[in-house]
Amino acid sequence: MEKIVKTFTRDLSITVSDWWRFAQGENFQTTLGTAYQANLSYSNGLSVTYFYLENDLEAVKQAFLAKLTQDNYYYLKIRAPFRKHVEFCKALIKKLYADGQLDEKKFIEIRKSFIALYPTYRFTLLIPSAWAEDVKKLSNGDKTIAAAFEDRIFAEGTFEAFDALLRILMLPKLKEAKQSEKLAKFMNEKETLALARDESINWNEIKSRTAGYTYVNGEVFSLRDYKKLFCEKGYLYEEEKPSGNEIKGAVAYNGGIVKGKVKIIYAVEQLQDFSNGAVLVTPMTVPDFIPAMKKASAIVTDEGGVTCHAAIVSRELKIPCVIGTRLVTRLFKDGDEIEVNTETGVVRKC
């Protein structure tokens, strides 16, 4: 049994998960000589939680540190072409939004551009956070961390923007097929390409995933018992369970002590139900969540460190925020009255 660990949760489509699986395999192997061997995820029908082999996470980090040891300017050299490609991607996304409908040519262009973001896009996320202490020990380490953080801000939202673009372009085709627009995020790469080509699709199979699914190395299983399936496939996942009436995280922005009712947000389609003054509880915020963040009395997340999206935006908006609690979305439920202490990082049920 190979041990896997939960890494993050986002509202993403299966197609983008397929593209990401390819990028984190082939692109990482070419660049670093090692890659993420397993790509596992679970969806509750709203968002997707991603898992990696514990050994892969360490192998990728060590391969990057080896590159940086051999050439102290390694990251500083690759950031310029990366930023140029991000600019290209932003322009492409804007252009294709105006084009309106998905076809095979657009599909191939979007896929190619998305995949080319990696592995540098992932470096920008990990260098200032999970890898920071190791990078600091190396020559030019502080410069590398500062540069990666700048690049992270520069590229913020590009990942999610590609996913949103793809879903928007799929809508006319889904309408022609007399299918719900909600199915866009439950279609894998082959099915999305078939839609672009006007080929036949097993819609019943896609609909069966809307209540939840488990993704194992490119295969999609229409079931929600992901722990059992992971075990059957040879992966060991030790799930952490919440207990008690309080939880602790890191303070991202100290706005004192705030009380309010919980509203858990997993996906963009839930934002319309967010009320002024509610406490935004979420695995992690993304740029599309900013309208809800502005209305929130406080923000509490499962994931993230001092450089995550929630931390950056909460500081800009001066909204009390606690991050990295790991289990807040599982400890509380919608409507719970909670106290968020952004002096201590403790969040508790009133």
Angle of helix 14-22 versus helix 104-115 axis, rounded to 10: 50
Shared-domain flag, residues 108 and 186: yes
d(CA 296, CA 260): 9
How many degrees, rounded to 5, is the angle at CA 7 between CA 277 and CA 28? 130
For the record, the structure tokens of 301 come out as 């997340």
For residue 119, is the peptide bond before it cis, meaning its omega torsion is within 30 degrees of 0? yes
**Residue 234 domain-assigned?**
no
**Residue 238 domain-assigned?**
no
Which residue range forms the structural domain that includes residue 91? Answer: 2-219
- Cα distance between the two ends of the chain: 41
CATH number of the domain bearing residue 265: 3.50.30.10
Judged by DSSP in three states, 337 sits in strand
Shared-domain flag, residues 6 and 89: yes
Q: What is the pLDDT along the chain (350 residues), one digit of tens a residue?
A: 899 999 999 999 999 999 999 999 999 999 999 999 999 999 999 999 999 999 999 999 999 999 999 999 999 999 999 999 999 999 999 999 988 889 999 999 999 999 999 999 999 999 999 999 999 999 999 999 999 999 999 999 998 999 999 999 999 999 999 999 999 999 999 999 999 999 999 999 999 999 999 999 999 998 778 999 999 999 999 988 888 999 999 999 999 999 999 999 999 999 999 999 999 999 999 999 999 999 999 999 999 988 899 999 999 999 999 999 999 999 999 999 999 999 999 999 99
Shared-domain flag, residues 198 and 285: no
**Residue 227 domain-assigned?**
no
Shared-domain flag, residues 195 and 326: no
Q: Are 69 and 141 a contacting pair, CB within 8 Å?
A: no
* Domain end point (choices 177, 203, 219): 219
Shared-domain flag, residues 214 and 253: no
DSSP letters, 93-115, are: HHHHHHH-S--HHHHHHHHHHHH
**Residue 280 domain-assigned?**
yes
pTM of this prediction? 0.92
Q: Which of 310, 289, 302 is nearest to 330 (CA)?
A: 302
The pLDDT value recorded for residue 174 is 97
Enumerate the β-bridge partners of residue 257: 341
Shared-domain flag, residues 178 and 38: yes
**Residue 226 domain-assigned?**
no
Shared-domain flag, residues 301 and 265: yes
**Residue 233 domain-assigned?**
no
The pLDDT value recorded for residue 19 is 96
**Residue 274 domain-assigned?**
yes
Judged by DSSP in three states, 265 sits in coil
Cβ neighbors of 90 (< 8 A, separation 6 or more) are: 158, 161
Q: In what order do the strands lie in the sheet with 298-301?
A: 246-248, 346-349, 337-341, 257-264, 279-282, 298-301, 321-323, 250-253
Total domains in the fold of the chain: 2
**Residue 229 domain-assigned?**
no
Backbone angles phi, psi at 292, to 5 degrees: -70, -35
The pLDDT value recorded for residue 90 is 96
